[in-house]
Amino acid sequence: MNYAFLPDLSALTILIVILLLLRRHHPQRQTNLWLLGLFLTLIESSAHIFYAPSGLPSTILHTVVIVCYLLAGLVFVWGAGDYSPTDRAGYLYLIVNSIPLFGMCTSYGLHRFTTQAFLPWIAIGAIAGAASSLVLYRSALRSVLVASGWIAMGLLVSQGRFREAVYWSLGIVYAIATVNFYRKLPRNSTGRLAIVTGFSIWAFFFFLHPFIVTYRTYADIASHIWNMQKSLISIGMILVMLEEQISCNRWLALHDELTGLSNRRSFEDHLATSLERCRRSHSTLAVFMLDLDGFKQINDTHGHHAGDQLLRHIATCLLENGECFASIARLGGDEFTLLSCDSNRDHSIEDLREAVQEATERPFELDGQTLRVSASIGIALYPDDADDATRLLRIADLRMYSIKQSRTPLRHIRLDTVPSLTASGRFRSRSLSNF
């Protein structure tokens, strides 16, 4: 037994366990693939412990190590690439090109150092790689590059340079993973820096391995760096997950989780900012407050799940007209608010009201049934009705409830406390550039 690898193996195990615990609160396909790749790396690291004169046969251990390197690299390529779970073409392409690599690495692990053991796999790889590039991606350039890579490996094998052929092919796999991680992860992520650095080291040492293995002194140093980068990658993945969680929490602080619209806090910030800008530029602003009519009946009849689906449907419909509004938010329940500035000079207030009304009245399909709701809409104008956010919201809210009361009487609102819908006397027909 070679116990010198135990400290590095223990560190890697602990980091994988931490990543696994984080996954419980952060489930996603990407994390599952990362964990699978690290688990294969853990198997490879464990195999090194048994490298000893009285240990397992070297061919078995060498095969396990080389194959795990390959499988882990392929998993990382897939996990870091822009592939969706339904990307059959990408999945098939990866499988087709992996099989000859798997055969070549297995031959090397079993110490079958003959051209007859390698050349058939190289021929299959060149043909399959070129054909799959043309058929699945219709890319002549990709086809030529893949075929050229296999031909280069064939030249190395024909010269008896089996180690270079295998380790350089692994280096290419990990270089592709490095590029994929670099392109996919957020640019300002610290975790991205750690992951890309770790995979860059990994790929570099695959290319360097055939040369450094003959120098025992440098080989020991390279071995320590080799194990260091595995921990670096694991730490990077943990950092990425924590950064994503922080980003998600920041998003939730300003957005409604159900609909994805701005929440009350975010809307109030937008309103304050917009009002300040309007004061400086002497421009105008409209606050739309809407409450859904018939939402409670749908909740009571079809359940809260149907109500949630309806709210998401309304949010989607409102966002389709989002270019007319500076902000669209859900304040809570079935209440929504919208802001419109006089930068939109092509629509009158009535046009915008009708657009909002039309968006809320679009049919909603639920279990084969077509459901409809409408909306009571109240509007307050700056500076005609009020010059501060609190009063604008209150006026829009009262006008909305006044309309709602005319449809469904509300005992707790008195008619004489509700501002007239024509308080300004003019806003119904005025364009945003003039109201």
CA angle 335, 340, 346 (to 5 degrees): 130
- DSSP H or E stretch at residue 99: helix 88-109
DSSP letter for 321, please.
Answer: T
- What pLDDT is stored for residue 70 in this prediction? 96
Q: How far is CA 126 from CA 66, 109, 190, 203, 350, in A?
A: 21, 21, 38, 22, 66
DSSP letter for 255, please.
Answer: B
- What pLDDT is stored for residue 27 in this prediction? 65
**Which domains are assigned to the chain?**
3-254 (no CATH), 264-429 (3.30.70.270)
- What pLDDT is stored for residue 423 in this prediction? 37
- What pLDDT is stored for residue 132 in this prediction? 93
- What pLDDT is stored for residue 85 in this prediction? 63
Do the beta carbons of residue 15 and residue 241 sit within 8 Å?
Answer: no
Name the pTM for this structure: 0.72
Question: In this predicted model, what pLDDT tens digit does every residue of 160-173 receive, in sequence order?
Answer: 999 999 999 999 99
- What pLDDT is stored for residue 256 in this prediction? 92
3-state secondary structure of 363: coil
Phi then psi for 24, rounded to 5 degrees?
-60, -30
Q: Give the pair of three-digit tokens for residue 17.
A: 């366990």
- What pLDDT is stored for residue 424 in this prediction? 37
**Of all residues in the chain, what percent carry a pLDDT higher than 90?**
49
- What pLDDT is stored for residue 168 in this prediction? 95
- Of residues 331, 333, 336, the one with CA closest to residue 265: 331
Please list the ranges in the chain whose pLDDT falls under 50. Answer: 343-344, 409-435
- What pLDDT is stored for residue 345 in this prediction? 57
Distance, CA of 295 to CA of 291 (rounded, Å): 9
- What pLDDT is stored for residue 2 in this prediction? 63
Residues contacting residue 85 through CB under 8 Å, at least 6 positions apart: 29
Do the beta carbons of residue 276 and residue 343 sit within 8 Å?
Answer: no
- What pLDDT is stored for residue 366 in this prediction? 78
